[in-house]
Amino acid sequence: IRRQDAVHEDVELLRQDIKLIEQKFSEFQTLRFTIHPLVIDENLITRDLLPLPSSPCRTMKLEFDEFPALATNDKNLLVHRSPNLTLLDRHFTVVKEVPWTHEDIWDMCWSTALNRYIIVTSKEVFMLDHSTMNATQCPISSDVEWSRATCSASSLFLLTQGLGPSLFEYRLPPSNKNVKQRSSPETCEQCEHIFDLKSNNKTLAMIIYNTETGITRLDLRSSSNFQCLWSADVGQGFRCCLLQDEQGMVVDALTRRLFHISNNGQVLKVDKYLHEPWNVFQWGKFIIGIRTKDSIHLY
């Protein structure tokens, strides 16, 4: 009072303010908060995969293969190192290796349902047990020539060679009893090649080249009813992979380009690659692999 010349009314106002603060503080102590987690739609997330790092985290030299096929499960990578089939870990250490005595391998894929690798030659289809490296021929009889293979959770998809190819869907385990065939124009036009075929549990990705227009596109189709969900122009793309979050990557060896495609068919980015990329794969959630003529690079 002496320092600020306050009067009695001022002191009373200050006391009321203090009581009000005490009351609010008491109420604050009894508050209960209900906090809900923020739900983020992963379909709206865009990850910048390109450009890839300037240097791969791991590289392995590999002899040239006319059909640069490979397949992965969570732990291992299967490659053909003539004259052997080789199973590698993520450090490129050879886990197992056996001679391959059959015809040239056109494609490989992994079946989670069968816990086996599927290996395709032009005339035969094999299942490879990764623990024993024993290859057994699938009970599939056909007079066509195969070019590509991919697996969903319940089916094996086999693609024939040539223009206007047919697509065979075998329920797992594969046999001649439960098979569905799709032919041109349902698969593609008679003047078109299908360069690559990849599947997850819901969709099929196909790289299709039109011989009349010279245009190459990536089609994403429903694996259940084969409805086309979207198409994207991918230069002269040759091989593709479906990424974990429903996005895609396409490699164009002729122009040394990589295409990153969104889950709604938009080309997010196109980037030059130092070498000719002949195949691409995703290994687990965080590793992208590029197969060139003489190497495999991990990023």
- Tens digits of residue pLDDT in 267-279: 999 999 999 999 9
- Contact in structure between 256 and 237 (CB atoms under 8 Å): no
Query: Is residue 149 scored above 70 in pLDDT?
Result: yes
Which residues are CB-neighbours of 136 under 8 A, at least 6 positions away?
126, 127, 129
Span 65-85, pLDDT tens digits: 888 999 999 999 999 999 999
The answer to whether the peptide bond before residue 174 is cis (omega within 30 degrees of 0) is no
Q: How far apart (Å, rounded) are the C-alpha atoms in residues 240 and 231?
A: 14
User: What's the pTM?
Assistant: 0.83
Look-up of token digits 């008679």: 190
Phi and psi (nearest 5°) for 42?
-65, -20
Q: How far apart (Å, rounded) are the C-alpha atoms in residues 78 and 133?
A: 11
180 — pLDDT class (breaks 50, 70, 90): very high
Q: How far apart (Å, rounded) are the C-alpha atoms in residues 162 and 165?
A: 6
- Which tops the pLDDT comparison, 31 or 229? 229
